Amino acid sequence: MLKTIITREFLNNILNLRFMIGLVLCIIVTFACIMILAHDYQQELEDYNIRVNLQDEFLRNYAYRDGLFRMIPRQKPPERFRPLIIGISGDENVESFDDNPLPILFPPFDFLFIVTIIMSLLAILFSYDTITGERQSGTLRLVISNSISRTKILFGKLVGGAASLLIPFILSLLVGGLYISINPSIQWDGSAWAEFGLLTAASITFITLFYLLGLMISTFSRYPATSILNCLFLWVLLILVIPNICPHISAQLYRIPSIKETERKDLEIEIHSLKVAREYMKESVKKFKLKYGTLFSEFESMEFGGVGFLIDAKPKHRIAARQRADADPEFKAMMDAFREEGKKAQKELIRIREESDMLWDDLETKAAVQTKLAKNLACISPYANFIYVARDLTGTGLRSLEYFEQVKDEHGKQFWPYVDKKVQDAQKNDPKFTWASFLDLGDYPRFEFKEEALKDKLIEVLPYWGILVLFNVVFFAAAFAGFMRYDVR
């Protein structure tokens, strides 16, 4: 009997107009979206290669040790899921005068959009009249008058309805998957296809959730017109309102210091530290003048020891000072003693600047707390949970930004020891080598972005996926309770 109900529900749905519209819309929109995004991905990839080449070429010509910290070669490639989902941009383009403001006005359209808006709406349209429609047409009491339990009817309706709903979705995904597999510019390995499979599973969890929501509302309503209104009311709240309001609520509940204010304080600390260090050096200069007299004046004339002690002297002066120190041990002793004083001043400067590190740490910690609060608040909406699962699984979400920072740090751990070794070698080969000299970095460790392990991603997304499953269970339980008491007359 269960099989009959499932078959009937399934056939009833696929012969309906909404199925045809859903099918056509899903396939056309998904295919168009994947085709356009795949082309966009190709352009992004070309742009990424240009950036990598630009950096390589720049390093070949301008690899001076004292400027290297400003040109570390780390470019983020476009996400491999870019043909499906548009990732969140990192910090690299938020401070540009020329950034593109259009995505703020019109958020990008991608696979997530299809699932969260079109499929959830379709799910509601498939289920809102499952019970109320049959009650109104009178077929429900005919079915109930047979020796079939209400549990079986509800279960049959759920399976049959959900199966017919998922057909347009699975078909459109198959078309999209086929396009991705034959497109030569998209190279997906086994893990990418596994992620694609998991993304499909998460999407199905999300779509069935809205089917169950419609079913639940249907079991608590008398007329289809009432149930569709209630469904749309909840859909608007869960998809369009709650997730968008949560970041603003969290910003009100948990305030974080202003970036500009932090920058100002940082600058104040920097000025103060320089002032303290300069005062210290002024005192040292006075002491050295008293102690060494003309010898120190000679040293000062080489542009050492002035108020700009922290700025490196020009290479010609450095060489002259070194030659003078080699020739005169007393000059050398004075130079070493003065260098020690310089180190003490540097130490004091670093100690004061630690306050500025604390400021930035505090800002980062508070920003992380606010983000977490917003993230947790938004969890009351299935939409937010699905976004977290889908984005983090495919490396296009907030976690991917954190992960990129980790990969950058890892690269730094290879790059800087490599540079230090190069400097040591250069110093051995050329005694005149200074921090302002050119370094040959032809074989520097290239930055290669590797996707995070699927296992780690899964561990991260499981709680949110669990919430989606919980929503499914709750809606089904409510639909079950509602249907058990439903007056079929």
Partner 1 sequence: MLKSIIRKEILSNLLSYKFSIIIILSTILILVSIFVMYRDYCLALENYEILRRTKSEDTVVVIPPTPLGIFAKGLDENLCRSYEDGYGGRIHASSKQQSLNNLFKLFTAPDLLYVIKVILSLCAMLFAFDIVSGEKEIGTLRQSLSCSLKRPILIIGKWIGGFTSFILPFFIAVLLGTIFVTLSPVVDINAQNWAKLGLFLLSSVIYLAVFFSLGLLISCLTHRSSTSLVISLFVWAIFVFIIPNLGHILARQLVRIPTVQQLELKLKQSSIKRWFEKRRVDDSQHRRIDNRIRAENEKFLEDYRNRFNRLAKVSQNITRFSPAAAFTLLATDIMGTGMAEERRLKRAVLQYLKDRDDKMLGYQRSSVKEVLGRGGMSNCLILILFNILFFTGAHVAFLRYDVR
Query: Site residues for partner 1, window 219-238 (CB under 8 A)?
Result: 224-226, 228-230, 232-233, 236
How far apart are alpha carbons 90 and 409 in whole angstroms? 16
Among the listed residues 4, 47, 291, 417, the single contact to partner 1 using CB under 8 A: 47
Which of 120, 158, 133, 136 is closest to 10 using CA atoms? 158
Backbone angles phi, psi at 46, to 5 degrees: -60, -45
Query: Residue 311, interface with partner 1 (CB under 8 A)?
Result: no
Element (H, E) at 278: helix 259-292
Length of the chain: 489
Query: Residue 333, interface with partner 1 (CB under 8 A)?
Result: no
Q: What is the DSSP letter of 257?
A: -
How far apart are alpha carbons 258 and 72 in whole angstroms? 28
Among the listed residues 14, 23, 64, 179, the single contact to partner 1 using CB under 8 A: 64
How far apart are alpha carbons 22 and 114 in whole angstroms? 11
Q: Least distance from C-beta 157 to partner 1, angstroms?
A: 17
Segment lying near partner 1 (by CB under 8 A), choices 53-61, 166-174, 335-343, 409-417: 53-61
Angle at 369 between CA 368 and CA 370, to 5 degrees: 90
- Closer by beta carbon to partner 1, 194 or else 249: 249
Among the listed residues 260, 428, 485, 489, the single contact to partner 1 using CB under 8 A: 260
What is the total count of residues that contact partner 1 (CB under 8 A)? 94
Query: Residue 44, interface with partner 1 (CB under 8 A)?
Result: yes
Which of 138, 150, 165 is closest to 219 using CA atoms? 150
Query: Residue 272, interface with partner 1 (CB under 8 A)?
Result: no
Query: Residue 241, interface with partner 1 (CB under 8 A)?
Result: yes
Query: Residue 67, interface with partner 1 (CB under 8 A)?
Result: yes
Contact 103, 474 (CB under 8 A): no
Listed in sequence order, the residues at least 6 apart from 67 whose beta carbon sits closer than 8 Å to its beta carbon are: none
Among the listed residues 62, 149, 462, 481, the single contact to partner 1 using CB under 8 A: 62
Site map 441..460 versus partner 1, x via CB under 8 A: --------------------
Segment lying near partner 1 (by CB under 8 A), choices 5-13, 47-55, 174-182, 475-483: 47-55
Q: What is the DSSP letter of 146?
A: S
Q: Least distance from C-beta 379 to partner 1, angstroms?
A: 12
Contact 466, 388 (CB under 8 A): no
Q: Least distance from C-beta 60 to partner 1, angstroms?
A: 12
Q: Which residues pair with 438 in a beta bridge?
A: 64
Among the listed residues 187, 252, 294, 429, the single contact to partner 1 using CB under 8 A: 252
Query: Residue 6, interface with partner 1 (CB under 8 A)?
Result: no
Q: Least distance from C-beta 145 to partner 1, angstroms?
A: 25
Query: Residue 89, interface with partner 1 (CB under 8 A)?
Result: yes
Query: Residue 92, interface with partner 1 (CB under 8 A)?
Result: yes
**Subset of residues 94 to 153 that bind partner 1, contact rule: CB under 8 A:** 94-109, 113, 117-118, 121, 125, 129
CA atoms within 13 A on the CB side of 344: 12
CA atoms within 13 A on the CB side of 95: 5
Q: Which residue has the tokens 């392990």?
A: 453
How far apart are alpha carbons 195 and 43 in whole angstroms? 23
Among the listed residues 256, 334, 441, 468, the single contact to partner 1 using CB under 8 A: 256
**Subset of residues 414 to 443 that bind partner 1, contact rule: CB under 8 A:** 436
For 444, the token pair is: 């520097």
Q: Least distance from C-beta 337 to partner 1, angstroms?
A: 29
How far apart are alpha carbons 255 and 131 in whole angstroms? 47
**Subset of residues 354 to 413 that bind partner 1, contact rule: CB under 8 A:** 363, 367, 370-371, 374-375, 378, 384, 387, 391, 397-398, 401
First to last CA, the chain: 22
- Closer by beta carbon to partner 1, 36 or else 470: 36
- Closer by beta carbon to partner 1, 148 or else 229: 229
Torsion from C-alpha of 427, 428, 430, 432, nearest 10 degrees: 50
Segment lying near partner 1 (by CB under 8 A), choices 93-101, 275-283, 448-456, 476-484: 93-101
